[in-house]
Structure 1
Amino acid sequence: MNQPDSPQVIEQIAAYLHISPDQIECIPIRHGTFERNNVWRLNAGERSFILKQHLIAEPVGESTFTPFQVESAILLRLHQARCRVPELYWWSDAASYLLMEWCGDTTLDDLAQKTPTGELNPILQNTVRAFCQLEEGFAKTAHALNPYIYPLDYSVFLQDMLQTLLDQGRKTLDYLAWMRGEPIPADQAAGLDAIWTRMSDCLHRATPTLGTLDYNARNIVVNGDTPTFIDFGSIGWDWSERRLVQSLNSLGANRTNGNFVSLLEQEVVKEYAGQVSEHREDCSETEITAQVDYHQLLFYLSIIHRLLQSTAQPEEAESKATLQAWGDPKARFQRALALIINSHLSEDPDTKRLRELTATFRDASN
């Protein structure tokens, strides 16, 4: 499907724009090696828009609303709250199409893969501000958005999911220790367990916030230095720091020579913590930066776990998908390990010790 499959939609858009249908051109938008067949740049004379069709026409799981209904409602509310999301101009309930403000077609993931991080500082500062505005926008409109929240018992789901990540991360550190040819000594393991308990307790105590459930660097488009957050077909509860980490780490999936790129640095995290702490009476900037650091560490430990699982069971469907999207697993492993060791996002002594310990595993294997 290279063009919208409904000529009536083009006719309706033309009528909305007061032009003839033959003045409209739809160009599919590509990201990486995949073509997104449900998103187009719609050119109408000198104006450009984004045209998106939701391909899932039924509610997902136990949800009451379709992704199209969720996204259209969320965009209207968030735009009214002055968040950096596309303005919604026109929509078709019958065909699940959205006509939105053109905000560019270069994603933060694109920029991370081809631009030195130091050159992205203005964009990253703007992205953090826009991220915080988005979090605040969700908080202010939470009551109105409540019907659209994906139905889960989040108090159980989030704690279970976090504990799974923590357990996987701890086991992955044990595996990494074998890079030096021996397990972690008992006294060192006891110290590691104590650190892991403190980190776990801190993350489990943190309060989740309402926001999108589809957060990654491909869902931030950049036009000049201005970021815009996109894709709001599903919303729910999660931790802001986890969203930040996954939004500002580029996976470079389905790209030739793609690899992991972290856009998080201490100054970026400080900017985030400074803004967020204004609205959290029970959490200091120091605690917030530590939580970002913890989530960054868990993120890349989970990636290493996924790589190890994929190479150990290459015939599994999920492993095939991972290896196809990420390419050379050795290069990916080395990059993820380097990011664990070199990402100093806070002054937290526990993450510093974990990174130092991981570095000894790597260095002993060289």
Structure 2
Amino acid sequence: MIKFNNKSILSAALWIVIQCMSTNLHAQKNDPRDKEPGFWELLFDDLFDHYEEHPIQNKFEDNYRVIDLEKQWKFQIGNDTRWASPSYNDESWVDIKVPGDWENDGFHGYDGFAWYRVHFDGRALRSNEAHYLKLGFIDDVDETFLNGYLVGKTGDFPPRFRTGYNSDRTYFIGNELINFEGDNVIAVKVYDEYQKGGIVKGKPGIYVSGGSEDLLQNLYGPWKFSKSNKRIFSEPDFDDENWDVVLVPSYWDNQGYRSLDGTAWYRKTFELSFTPKSGEKYYLTLGRIDDFDETYLNGQKIGETDDGGDFGQSQSYQTVRIYPIPKGLLNKRGKNTIAVKVIDIGLEGGIYSGPVGIVSENDVTRMIRDRR
């Protein structure tokens, strides 16, 4: 994610947006992505290069790769739901290099559905950490499975096609889906509408969220989500049964809310997986949030971050949220509810990077130092 810190850079950015809009309006008469002569592709190539050259700006800077998936994967043209299964035998499939577009790897001119599969050894991972599958940029649409379970999707397949080729895929994978004792299978269903196709660019791998190993209570994974805004949403007994479900941490733009700027709410109800000690202090960490937040635990406001800056000036999105939990507020037996009001003032929005959970005072100092 890129934010701009002075008027000259912001002006240049606005000029790019205007050019993008005019180019896209013209392109819609022919092809919705205008991949020739390649304006969008060149633009996102530049952005990706910026992330690599300036890692402090990289939105995945707190994650580190523990399993390298830049290698040969198995590949098959077509579409069969059985191919998501970890028990499916893919030995007859061809090998293909990942990342790389299939047009330049023997499949020139092919547009349509194809599947990728790869195995990894779960013994390289630790069950006390939070893990992500990062695939990079996929042209155009994907559904991604781990051991037969859907863990992420970007874009829309036909007949309501919507490309996701400019999104850097990063999908949280719950530890309950990982076989820490041996073989695991990743299967990726890809649809390409036009020209280049496949897992085309990035640093694919299994990543660990930095700081997750220090959490007493891991709060990664599914949260309830609403783009409405009512004060009652902060109350612990509010019924959020009919709310949508999103994965945290991850931009809401990559989970079906691409055009959402403004206010939305997250809620998470859980029981403690540890026993609080009477003389110990605890903190709730929500990682980084784009842009502003008000955070409630069991109906009580415990923190907020809002530097008051406008779009292009605010730095709140870079602040790691670590809020002290008032003594006695956690329910040792029974349910606890976190409610987070998030205000996005432009570009991506939401709780987008970890660590997310509850940490003791003994570990919070190191966590703050490492995340700043």
| TM-score scaled by length of structure 1 | 0.27
More helix by share: 1
